[in-house]
Amino acid sequence: MRIALLSIFAFAGIAAGAEEATGKGGDPYARLPADLKVVKGIVFKQVGETKLDLMLLLPTEKKFEKSPLVVFIHGGGFGGGDKFHVLRRDALGVARGLTQRGVTFASIEYRLANGGAATVNESVADCKDAVRFLVKHAAEYNLDPERIGTFGESAGGNLTLTTALGADRDYPCDPALDGPPGKIRCVAAYYGPVSFVDPALTKGSNFEHPERLVSILGGPLETRRELAKRLSPIELLRPDSPAIFLAHGDADKTIAPLNSTAMRDAAQAKGVPVECVVSKGAGHGFSGEGITPTIPEINQRTVDFFLKYLTSP
């Protein structure tokens, strides 16, 4: 159990720099850069007494009659983190780049798999329901429901891929948010785990230890294998899957870079458009000095990827 707890804290605690703290002890919204236009505290779902909300970062210039949308899903080891992870430098540059180009950017909360009632299955459902809520309220927020992307880092990299690639019916989504589906055209994932069932991809990561999967799956892998497959993006690929962008550090000791390169290869085999950037010298969270490409360069590649698929006919 001690190994499992250490793994959780190690995965949840990785940051790309001390300046990226989410502002505990103060108003985290005050940490948002002044050039970003924010709509706070939009509750998209309630489960019991738990209210899940999101914030919208609005386009700084109107470039589309209806704005494309990118939904950001934070990391934190599946058991930590919050929507203010958008303040991390490997996410904020993407948010700023997209809003400057007329794209609306949402950052969402989801139930955490930290030993309570929720597993990652519920986390995925919440992420999907955030997208479904925004589709249902597209007119209210001036969104184009046919031009949606998802974006996440670390655990959020897994969740963003699962949200984009998995079928809604396979997760416990809220029936109140049923309605005409939107279209997720593309998905970007930074240094996320892509499988809980392939030992080659979990080797050397926090998920190599069987006990680490209990909070994620709600039980041991041997009794939850089908669920584990539904939470493994590499198992969800189809020829008609959305375009995928992947980025990882080649020195990542938390989630092996093989996760991103294997996902790239599997997508290519299915004929799915895919790009993969491996940053030399970069650890988890793109940590490290002198990494190549740099975080700003990776962010720009990500922005260009989203614009390519969200603004094309």
Confidence of residue 25 (pLDDT cuts 50, 70, 90): low
Q: What is the pLDDT of residues 40-50, one digit of tens each?
A: 999 999 999 99
Q: Which residue has the higher pLDDT, 150 or 312?
A: 150
For residues 182-191, average pLDDT: 97
**Which CATH number characterizes residue 271's domain?**
3.40.50.1820
Q: What is the CB neighbour count within 10 angstroms for residue 218?
A: 17
Tally helices (H) and strands (E) across the chain.
Answer: 9, 8
Sole residue written with tokens 């002890």:
25
DSSP string for residues in 149-211:
EEEEETHHHHHHHHHHHS-GGGS---GGG-SS---EEEEEEES----SS-HHHHTTSGGGSTT
DSSP state of 84: G
The angle formed by the CA atoms of residues 237, 307 and 278, to the nearest 5 degrees, is: 60
Does the pLDDT value for residue 281 go beyond 70? yes
Q: What is the mean pLDDT of residues 215-227?
A: 94
pLDDT digits (tens, 9 = 90+) for 133-151: 999 999 999 999 999 999 9
Range of 6-15, 185-194, 210-219 with top mean pLDDT: 185-194
Angle of CA points 68, 76, 106, to nearest 5°: 15
Q: What six digits make up the tokens of 261?
A: 């390169």
What pLDDT does residue 51 have?
Answer: 97
Range of the domain at 252: 2-310
Nearest alpha carbon to residue 302 among 119, 110, 137, 157? 157
CA distance 221 to 227: 9
The whole-number pLDDT of residue 18 equals: 31
Segment 259-283 mean pLDDT: 98
Number of compact structural domains in the chain: 1
CB atoms within 10 A of CB 259: 27
The pTM of this model reads: 0.91
Model pLDDT, residue 208: 86
**Alpha-carbon span 287 to 217, nearest angstrom:** 29
Burial 15-44 (b: 16+ CB within 10 A, else e): bbeeebebeeeeebeebbeeebeeeeebeb
Confidence of residue 289 (pLDDT cuts 50, 70, 90): very high
Q: Is the pLDDT of residue 22 over 80?
A: no
| Residue 219 confidence class, pLDDT cut points 50, 70, 90 | very high
Nearest alpha carbon to residue 54 among 132, 168, 161: 132
**In the predicted structure, residue 76 carries a pLDDT above the cut 70:** yes
Residue 205: pLDDT band (50, 70, 90) is confident
Q: Residues 204, 253: contact at Cβ < 8 Å?
A: yes
